[in-house]
Amino acid sequence: MVTQAQSNLLTMRKLVVIAVAMFGFGFALAPFYKKICEVAGLNSVIRADEVVNTQVDATRFVTVEFDSNVRSNLPWAFRPLEASVRIHPGELTTVMYEIRNNSSRAITGQAIPSYGPQLAGRYFKKLECFCFTQQTLAPHEARRMPVVFVIEKGLPDDVRTITLSYTFFEVEGTARKAG
C-alpha cells in the first residue's frame, strides 16, 4: 500500500523529470533551428550570395536607396556615403558605408540587412558585405566598409526602387576583459 508521502514524492519526481526534459528541449532548440536554417538556405545573412545571371539588362534602371540604423544602446554613428544609386539589373555595384564608435571602449557589432519591398531580397545578391562578419571597433575608431552587390535580371519589372537597410546591434558577451 502506497502512503500519501510516497505518492507525493513520486509526483514530485515526475515533475522534476518533466522540468529537466523541457529545459533540455529548450536548450537544444537553438542549434536545431540553426541547422534547419542552414540546410534550407534560410537566414543566410552571414555569407556571400551566388550570382546566377551576370548579364546586364541595359533596357531598365533600378534605384537602390540606402538606409542605416543602430540600436539605441549602441553608441555608434553609421551612415551610407551615398543616399542612392541608379543602376541596371546585372550591373556590379559597390557602395561604401561609414561607421564610427563614439564611445571610449571597444565594441563589437553585427549588421542585419533588410529589403523593401521584401521580395527584392531574392534578387539582391551581396558578394561582399560588412554584414557577413561581426565588426569590432576600438574606442573612437572610424571605418569605411564596402557592400558589393548585383541585382539579378529576374527582378519584376514593376519594382523600380529597392531600399537596402542595415541595422547594427551590439553583440553581447564580447567585451574584452582587462588583464
Which pLDDT tens digit goes with each residue over 59-91? 999 999 999 999 988 999 999 999 999 999 999
Q: Whole-angstrom Cα distance, residue 66 to residue 84?
A: 6
Domain annotation covers residue 16: yes
Closest Cα to residue 111, out of 84, 78, 144?
78
Mark whether 98 and 153 lie in a shared domain: yes
Read off the C-alpha cell for 52.
546566377
End-to-end CA separation in angstroms for the chain: 63
For the ranges 17-31, 110-124, 148-162, which has the lowest average pLDDT? 17-31
- For 114-120, what is the mean pLDDT? 94
Domain annotation covers residue 48: no
For the ranges 3-12, 16-25, 47-56, which has the lowest average pLDDT? 47-56
| Domain encompassing residue 17 | 1-43
Mark whether 24 and 68 lie in a shared domain: no
- What is the phi/psi pair of residue 7, to 5°? -65, -45
Closest Cα to residue 107, out of 131, 136, 134?
136
- For 18-24, what is the mean pLDDT? 77
Q: Is the peptide bond before 117 cis (omega within 30 degrees of 0)?
A: yes
Residue 176 · residue 127 · CB < 8 Å: no
Read off the C-alpha cell for 106.
571597444
Alpha helices in 41-144 (DSSP H): none
Q: What is the pLDDT of residue 177?
A: 44
Q: What is the pLDDT of residue 49?
A: 61
Mark whether 27 and 101 lie in a shared domain: no
Domain annotation covers residue 54: no
Mark whether 103 and 160 lie in a shared domain: yes
- For 153-179, what is the mean pLDDT? 83
Mark whether 78 and 130 lie in a shared domain: yes
Mark whether 72 and 144 lie in a shared domain: yes
Alpha helices in the chain (DSSP H): 4-40
Global pTM? 0.69
- Per-residue DSSP letters for 96-114? EEEEEE-SSS-EEEEEEEE
Domain annotation covers residue 50: no
Q: Whole-angstrom Cα distance, residue 50 to residue 77?
A: 31
Domain annotation covers residue 103: yes
Write down the number of H helices and E strands in the chain: 1, 9
The CATH number linked to 121 is: 2.60.370.10
Mark whether 36 and 76 lie in a shared domain: no
Domain annotation covers residue 151: yes
Mark whether 159 and 76 lie in a shared domain: yes
Mark whether 18 and 85 lie in a shared domain: no
Domain annotation covers residue 68: yes
Q: What is the pLDDT of residue 6?
A: 80
- For 99-109, what is the mean pLDDT? 97
Total domains present in the chain? 2
Mark whether 35 and 107 lie in a shared domain: no
> Does 23 score more than 70 pLDDT?
yes
Mark whether 78 and 153 lie in a shared domain: yes
